Amino acid sequence: MSAAQPLLRTRALRHFWPDGGHALALEDLAAARGESLFLHGPSGSGKSTLLGLLAGVLAPSSGDVLILETSFSSMSAAARDRFRANHLGYIFQQFNLLPFLTPIENVLLGCAWSAERKKRAGGTHVRMAAEAQRLLSSLGLGAHVWSRTKTGELSVGQQQRVAAARALIGGPALLLADEPTSALDASSRDAFLKLLLEECAIYGTGVVFVSHDLALARHFDRTVALASAPVES
């Protein structure tokens, strides 16, 4: 896999909020396969909006997002859903795990709707479960935790590892992370990031990590400042 292969590109991306008061204009962004990008911006600089645009959840007012040379604007909603399931992993700020499932089941949700990711995670249920266990263990969640606790009873740090494993299982091409470490203290945050990026490297997964905390930037290949704050339209 060569680093020159493009993973993500944006072209003249602009987003207007429905209230009409604000607009977000972005400088063009590019990332190669397997590259990890730290996207830095202060609160209110439109980070979550940008992630929504990159995930194809929000439709830009103008401009386009291309992932693996595929343009979101050229796809139907259903095709975007399929594409997202196959190629994107997303770690939420709130983790958004289903509390009534076991940690393993939560991780397996990550590849439940993508045949490609299922295949990459092992194909059979047994192998996928083994892969989920491996991921949890590598991210620092021991078998004694995931084997007997419901997800809803886990601590914040443990839930975050489950959420990361869910985003990573089946090796998506791109991992989008929305301030997933904001609830952690500095030392566990660094340890977690290290493990996360190691796993990404194994899969060759590119990372776009959004945070206001510049101290994290050193873990990533490249840092991009979210230059364009919301402007009056």
Residues that bind another protein (CB under 8 A): 48, 51-52, 55, 57-58, 77-78, 81-82, 84-86, 88, 90, 92, 94, 96-101, 105, 108-110, 112-114, 166, 178
DSSP state of 113: T
Specify the 3-state DSSP secondary structure of 222: strand
CB 98, min distance to another protein, A: 6
Choice between 59 and 214, CB closer to another protein: 59
Dihedral sign of CA atoms 9, 83, 217, 232 in order: positive
Q: For residues 95 and 192, which CB has a smaller minimum distance to another protein in the complex?
A: 95
Nearest CA among 39, 31, 1 for reference residue 179: 39
In the complex, least distance from residue 110 CB atom to another protein, rounded to whole angstroms: 6
Closest CA to 37 of 24, 46, 50: 50
Pick 6 or 52: Cβ nearer another protein: 52
Nearer to another protein, 2 or 109 (CB): 109
On whether the CB atoms of residues 15 and 60 are closer than 8 A, the answer is yes
Task: Report the amino acid identity of residue 107.
Answer: V
Q: Which is nearer to another protein, 123 or 142 (CB)?
A: 123
Residue burial 78-97, b: 16+ Cβ < 10 Å; e: rest? eebebbbbbbbbbbbbebeb
Give the shortest CB-207-to-another protein separation in angstroms.
Answer: 17
Q: State the chain's maximal CA–CA distance in angstroms.
A: 54
Nearer to another protein, 98 or 215 (CB): 98
Three-class secondary structure of residue 64 per DSSP: strand
Q: How many beta carbons lie within 10 A of that of residue 140, not counting itself?
A: 17
| Closer of 48 and 149 to another protein (Cβ) | 48
HEC string of 3-53? CCCEEEEEEEEEEECCCCCEEEECCCCEEECCCEEEEECCCCCCHHHHHHH
Min dist. Cβ of residue 167 to another protein (A)? 8
Shortest distance in whole angstroms from residue 187 CB to another protein: 27
Give the nearest distance from C-beta 84 to another protein in angstroms.
6
- Please report how close the Cβ of residue 190 comes to another protein at its closest, in angstroms: 26
